[in-house]
Amino acid sequence: MNIDKARQRYIPMSETMLYILLSLREERHGYGIMQHVKELTNGRIVLGAGTVYQSLGKLEADGLIRAVREEDRKKYYVITPQGAQILSEEAARIREVYRHLEGIK
């Protein structure tokens, strides 16, 4: 998928996709992603297996992540350069939103 289509599809990004891409800055398998997201969010976000694996399929098909290896029936993924670009743009968008919220209590 080209970068413009990826922007249209993923920005703004759901929390699920955001945390999956954040997790895949390191090589991880599905269960590892679920654990990492739970840890990152102090248990606020608990992703179910169905949600994670459906999202991984979509992200892989769209070229934002890629499978790097399989071991003991576990498929390991990492973010691609295009995925990192989309994640960076989403982070910039979120920072802008927070700037607009400054001063609100």
User: How many independent structural domains does the chain possess?
Assistant: 1
CATH no. for residue 15?
1.10.10.10
Per residue in 5-55, pLDDT tens? 999 999 999 999 999 999 999 999 999 999 999 999 999 999 999 999 999
Cα angle 91, 92, 96 (rounded to 5 degrees) comes to 115
Strands of the sheet with 65-71, listed across from one edge? 28-29, 74-79, 65-71
pTM for the full model?
0.91
What residue spans of the chain are helical by DSSP H?
A: 3-10, 15-23, 30-40, 49-61, 81-101
Say whether 34 sits in a helix, a strand or coil: helix
Cis ω on the peptide bond leading into residue 12 (within 30° of 0)? yes
Per residue in 57-73, pLDDT tens? 999 999 999 999 999 99
Q: Give the range of the structural domain holding residue 71, as residue numbers without chain letter.
A: 3-101
